[in-house]
């Protein structure tokens, strides 16, 4: 089964966009700021054959100095604040910070002496990916939004069920 021409075009466009903004490839550094590791499991699935992140020009890197995008999970425990700041500062610009999962977005833990409760309290977040955990498809869409290729759908969604007369 060959990919249809329009599919190839989309993948090609995304590849061009990434190469325009970030050179030939976009390198992702993941940062766990106290998550339960389920977000990490979903992130790891992105490199599995079914999702095959590399086909879109995304790669994981172990070094923040090689990274363009910081994928942050967890509610930002205060003990990790210094490390998180150092990781962010070590990254070369332009850099993108993506907060991943309900903890990172401030939905699970409130700020207390142990956690900040959200990633935004410490790092400047560019893209928010909700979900507990976000599925690999949601992560793919979030990464697409982060590089500006995929349109975000969120502003258009109402979360009002169809057929219940929202207009009135």
Partner 1 sequence: MPLWFTRGLRRGVVTTRYPARSDPSAASLPTPPAFRPRQLTVQIVDRMIAECPGTALSRAASTLVFDVGACTACGRCARVAPQAVTPSGEFELAATARSALIKMIPIRGEQR
Binding site for partner 1 (CB under 8 A): 1, 3, 6-7, 10-11, 14, 49-52, 55, 102, 105-108, 110, 120, 125-132, 134-135, 137-138, 140-142, 144-146, 150, 152-155, 157-162, 164-166
Q: Is the peptide bond before 133 cis (omega within 30 degrees of 0)?
A: yes
- Between residues 43 and 127, which has the closer beta carbon with respect to partner 1? 127
- Between residues 2 and 62, which has the closer beta carbon with respect to partner 1? 2
d(CA 98, CA 89): 15
- Between residues 10 and 63, which has the closer beta carbon with respect to partner 1? 10
- Between residues 62 and 154, which has the closer beta carbon with respect to partner 1? 154
The CB density around residue 102, as the number of other CB atoms within 10 Å, is 18
Cα atoms in the Cβ-side hemisphere of radius 13 Å centred on 134: 28
- Between residues 62 and 158, which has the closer beta carbon with respect to partner 1? 158
**In the complex, least distance from residue 27 CB atom to partner 1, rounded to whole angstroms:** 19
**In the complex, least distance from residue 158 CB atom to partner 1, rounded to whole angstroms:** 6
Residue 131 backbone class (left: φ over 0; alpha: ψ -120 to 50; beta: rest): left
| Partners of residue 115 on adjacent β-strands | 77
d(CA 57, CA 6): 18
> Which residue in the block uniquely carries the two structure tokens 């793919």?
140
**In the complex, least distance from residue 142 CB atom to partner 1, rounded to whole angstroms:** 4
**In the complex, least distance from residue 102 CB atom to partner 1, rounded to whole angstroms:** 5
**In the complex, least distance from residue 80 CB atom to partner 1, rounded to whole angstroms:** 21
The CB density around residue 160, as the number of other CB atoms within 10 Å, is 10
């Amino acid at each position: 089964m060959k990919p249809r021409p329009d599919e190839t075009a989309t993948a090609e466009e995304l590849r061009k966009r990434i190469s325009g903004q970030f050179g030939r490839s976009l390198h992702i550094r993941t940062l766990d700021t106290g998550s339960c590791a389920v977000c990490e499991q979903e992130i790891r699935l992105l490199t599995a054959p079914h999702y095959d992140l590399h086909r879109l020009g995304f790669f994981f890197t172990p070094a923040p100095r090689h990274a363009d995008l910081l994928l942050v999970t967890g509610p930002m425990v205060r003990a990790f604040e210094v490390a998180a700041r150092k990781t962010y500062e070590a990254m070369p610009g332009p850099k993108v910070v993506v907060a991943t999962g309900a903890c990172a977005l401030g939905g699970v833990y409130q700020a207390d002496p142990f956690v900040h409760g959200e990633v935004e309290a410490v790092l400047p977040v560019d893209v928010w990916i909700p979900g507990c955990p976000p599925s690999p498809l949601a992560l793919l869409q979030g990464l697409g939004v982060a590089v500006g290729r995929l349109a975000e759908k969120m502003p258009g969604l109402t979360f009002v069920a169809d057929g219940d007369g929202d207009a009135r």
